[in-house]
A = this chain, B = another copy of it.
Amino acid sequence: MPDNEGDTGSEQAPIALDAMGGDHAPDEIVAGAVHAVRERGLSVVLVGAPRPLHEALTRHGAASEIPIVRAEEALAMDEGALASLRRPRSSIAVACHLVRRGDASAVVSAGSTAGVVATGRLRLRGLTGVPRPAIAVMLPTLPHPTILLDAGANAEVKPEMLVQFAHLGVAYAEAGLNIRRPRVALLTIGSEAEKGNKLVKRAHELLSTAPGVEFTGNVEGHDLLTGVADVIVTDGFTGNVALKTMEGAVRYAFGELREAIASSTTAKIGAFLQRSRIRDLHRRLDSEHYGGAVLLGLNGTVVIAHGAARAAGISAACDLASTLVRQGVVTRISERIATTHRPHRLW
């Protein structure tokens, strides 16, 4: 493994980018790295099979700009959690190792979510007091995003874990979005306390008395994009379904709109819709631009880019990772958990 320290003059260690994960790996990942380095001024190392990565970098004329760290194997997109145990030399495992050694500041991967979560847990370990990491995404509300977690790391959870997720989300909102006393809500199927399944009913009770959590009560699916809360907690199954449903609904609405425009005879309308606010809106709702999800609660920063991410999405994910490192999100979470953590085992 080549030494990747000292390659950059910046203070922050480089971002370890898993070049083998994602539907469009490695070419779009390499293109994203080149964009991140040249356009955003970030420091990046690519982790994966050296030969194809070197070839791809050469095509960009960037072989001397971006170092490669060798990884013999890659997790396939359909490989789940167990693969992370079977493949200690996978690109994502090596990327985690770089962070653990201090040779990288963060991991970015567009690989299989289950594989990234399992490998992250195994190689970076959870922070003290955080038995389960959670995936946090930023929903495109205004004036600032709403944080939704867990968006898919834990398909089965216990009520106590939702309290833990609240702490992770609050620390993220404070450090990442600069929100004071973030309002926390619980995603369920009715605004009254007794609405929902057993899990959320019990979680509602626990959140109501959790120290350090500004709990504002239940919210429903249609509240996700209204900015009614700063942090919305849910189990990873429900959160993942909700997130993908939202993405699908927005894609559907814009697709229908595009067809309506195509069938229009007024050229001005097409021109208008290419412009300004509509374009902004589409970008804001498009995962290619908002960078991806963050795996919170580990002893290191991990950003999970969309599996279908192309260069722009990868570059945005590197930018998000760099921001999180600069804002010290891992330390902030650690401090918050230390002050609220009860010494006995919660589960």
Task: State how many copies of this chain the complex holds.
Answer: 2
Please name all residues of chain B whose beta carbon is closer than 8 Å to the beta carbon of A234 when the two chains form the complex: 241
- A256 to B220 CA separation, bound complex (whole angstroms): 20
Given contacts A196-B155, A256-B281, A260-B277, contact A244 B266 (CB under 8 A): no
Instruction: State whether A243 and B221 are in contact (beta carbons under 8 Å apart), knowing that A197-B237, A250-B253 are contacts in the complex.
Output: yes
Take A192-B78, A272-B266 as given contacts and tell me if A220 and B249 are in contact as well, using a CB distance cutoff of 8 Å: no
B197 touches A221 (CB 8 A): no
Assess whether B249 is in contact with A278, with CB atoms less than 8 Å apart.
Answer: no
Cβ B248 vs Cβ A221 within 8 A = yes
Q: Is the CB of B241 within 8 A of A80?
A: no
Q: Is A221's CB under 8 angstroms from B196's CB?
A: no
A245 B221 Cβ-Cβ under 8 A: yes
User: Chain B residues near A268 (CB, 8 Å)?
Assistant: 266, 268-269
* Nearest B residue (CB) for A245: B221
A340 at the interface (CB under 8 A from B): no
Q: How many A residues are at the interface, by size bracket?
A: 35 or more
Question: A263 interface residue, CB < 8 Å from B?
Answer: yes
Q: Which residues of B contact A237 (CB under 8 A)?
A: 188-189, 196-197, 200, 238
Nearest chain-B residue to A276 (Cβ)? B260
CA–CA, A220 and B249, complex, Å: 12
A281 near B257 (CB under 8 angstroms)? yes
- Say yes or no: A249 contacts B245, CB within 8 Å: yes
Q: A240-B189, A241-B189, A253-B253 are in contact. Are A277 and B248 (CB under 8 A)?
A: no
Which chain B residues border A225 with CB–CB below 8 Å? Answer: 248-249, 252
Given A78-B192, A221-B243, A224-B245, CB of A281 within 8 Å of CB of B266:
no
Asked if residues A281 and B254 are in contact (CB atoms below 8 Å), the reply is no
Q: Which B residues are in CB contact (< 8 Å) with A243?
A: 221
**A200: chain B residues within 8 A (beta carbon):** 237
Contact B260 A278 (CB under 8 A): yes
Q: Are A155 and B224 in contact (CB under 8 A)?
A: no
Decide yes or no whether A213 CB sits under 8 A from chain B. no
A 118-159 contacts with B by CB, 8 A: 152, 155-156
Contact A285 B253 (CB under 8 A): yes
Contact mask A182-204 → B, CB, 8 Å, 1/0? 00000111101011111010000
A165 to chain B, nearest CB (A): 16
CB-nearest residue of chain B to A259: B277
Q: 8 Å CB contacts to B: which residues of A276-305?
A: 276-278, 281, 285
Task: List the 3 shortest-distance A-B pairs measured between CB atoms, nearest first.
Answer: A221-B244, A222-B248, A221-B245
Given contacts A155-B196, A188-B241, A222-B251, 5 further A-B contacts (CB under 8 A): A224-B248, A249-B249, A256-B281, A266-B272, A268-B269
Interface residues of A (CB under 8 A from B): 78, 80, 114, 152, 155-156, 187-190, 192, 194-198, 200, 220-226, 234, 236-238, 240-254, 256-257, 259-260, 263-264, 266, 268-269, 272, 276-278, 281, 285
